[in-house]
Amino acid sequence: MKGLGAFLIGMIVVLLLRSTALSPLAARGIVVDVLAFATVFWALRHGAVWGATFGFMIGLAADLDATHWMGRHALVLSIVGYAIGRLARTLERESGRTQLIIIGLAVAVHQAWVVPFELGGLAGVGSGWPYLLGRVFVGALATAPVAALLLVAARRLTGRSVFGHALVHPG
């Protein structure tokens, strides 16, 4: 029950951040990909099943909010959550460098999948690939350091490891 509450609160906080505090930043071209970050966080902390479920649910909420192409966020985020949840066993989850790389990769994959929909499919990517690359790189560069810093700050403030409660065999 407690876990479900945290799941729902996590989703609501992420969606609120995205539609309020982060939207002026996004309008200036700096997309802090809080959806991918939250999915990675959940997958590293709770494993593949919860990572995929969180990614799917939050992706579905984002899809519904976006009016067009329902399922695009849900598809990629559930796969990202699952893959990172599976990898979590072999990763040093508390390492800042690992978090930086994992979050950067997750953002890159997420953006590389969703941006072509905005460009009108493969035909649009043909002419809009500089825009696509820009979104992928700026998204990864803007999100990964901020997210890694947040995790470091959370670890310092609480005085314990962020992913310390993860299962021995997540998923």
Q: Which residues bind other proteins (CB under 8 A)?
A: 12, 15-16, 18-21, 23-24, 26-31, 48-49, 52-53, 55-56, 59-61, 63-72, 74-75, 78-79, 82, 85-86, 118-120, 124, 127-128, 130-131, 135, 169, 171
Tell me the C-alpha distance between 140 and 16, whole Å: 21
Residues near 94 by beta carbon (within 8 Å), at least 6 away in sequence? 155, 161, 162, 163, 164
Q: How far is the CB of 6 from other proteins (least distance, A)?
A: 17
Considering the complex, state which of residue 104 and residue 139 has its C-beta at the smaller distance from other proteins: 139
Q: In sequence order, what DSSP letters do the residues of 95-163 get, joined into one string?
A: -HHHHHHHHHHHHHHHHHHHHHHHTTSHHHHHHHHHHHHHHHHHHHHHHHHHHHHHHHHHHHHHTS-TT
Q: How far is the CB of 152 from other proteins (least distance, A)?
A: 25
Q: How far is the CB of 14 from other proteins (least distance, A)?
A: 12
Q: How far is the CB of 85 from other proteins (least distance, A)?
A: 8
Considering the complex, state which of residue 64 and residue 161 has its C-beta at the smaller distance from other proteins: 64
Q: Which residue has the tokens 């065999």?
A: 169
Considering the complex, state which of residue 75 and residue 105 has its C-beta at the smaller distance from other proteins: 75
Tell me the C-alpha distance between 112 and 102, whole Å: 15
Considering the complex, state which of residue 89 and residue 159 has its C-beta at the smaller distance from other proteins: 89
